[in-house]
Amino acid sequence: MTPFGARADTLYKPGDWPALAGDRVATATGDTLTVIVYENASAQNAAQNDSRRRSDVDGQIVAGSAFSERGQLGLGGAFESGGQTGRSGRMVAQLSVTVEEVLPNGDLRIAGRQSLKINGENTVIRLRGRVRRVDISPANAIISSRIADAEIDYDGKGFVSSSARPGILAKIFNFLGL
């Protein structure tokens, strides 16, 4: 039998032992994490254009004392345009996601999906992103503004969403520019 020595760094690794007291937070692949989605975004864009131009030509022809002609020509144009767009959106939700991968720097790659069916309306929320462990609260939750590379998708299907889509006549008029 060959004796071998035990070293302290092989017996205890901090990441392998849970705390004796405290809540368990997501640290490994397969762990779940609660995401509190609170997104409130708005954007506006406005453009104004004003262009004016005027050109004048003036001339006179004199031929002897009895014949004289005077002519004048003026050209001008004006153009004004403007446009404004605006968009706003708000989303509040809470869903559980799963840790898909622990990255070399310790960040967690997360993904999750939640499906709801209310009164015939199907709603799906999908979320993907990257989370720093220090941003996870002791309650094993994180707010969506702390998720890097966040992809949050909210989609609905049913009577309400289908009635909000334009009909065939509206599509034809829109295509024709009417």
Q: Which of 100, 55, 90, 86 is nearest to 73 (CA)?
A: 55
Q: What is the mean pLDDT of the chain?
A: 78
Q: Cα–Cα distance between 94 and 143 in angstroms, integer?
A: 9
Q: Cα–Cα distance between 100 and 26 in angstroms, integer?
A: 11
Predicted confidence (pLDDT) at residue 87 exceeds the cutoff of 80: no
How far out from the chain centre does Cα 130 lie? 16
Predicted confidence (pLDDT) at residue 103 exceeds the cutoff of 60: yes
Decide which of 133 and 40 is more confident: 133
Report the predicted TM-score, pTM, of the whole model to 2 decimal places. 0.57
The amino acid occupying position 150 is: A
Decide which of 80 and 124 is more confident: 124
- Residue found under tokens 């960040």: 107
Task: Supply the pLDDT for residue 45.
Answer: 77
**First vs last C-alpha separation in the chain:** 92
Task: Supply the pLDDT for residue 60.
Answer: 63
- What pairing do the DSSP bridges indicate for beta strands 141-143 and 121-131? unpaired
Task: Supply the pLDDT for residue 22.
Answer: 60
| CA quadruple 100, 105, 106, 107: dihedral sign | negative
Q: Among 85-89, 90-94, 105-109, name the one with the lowest average pLDDT.
A: 85-89
State mean pLDDT over 150-167: 73
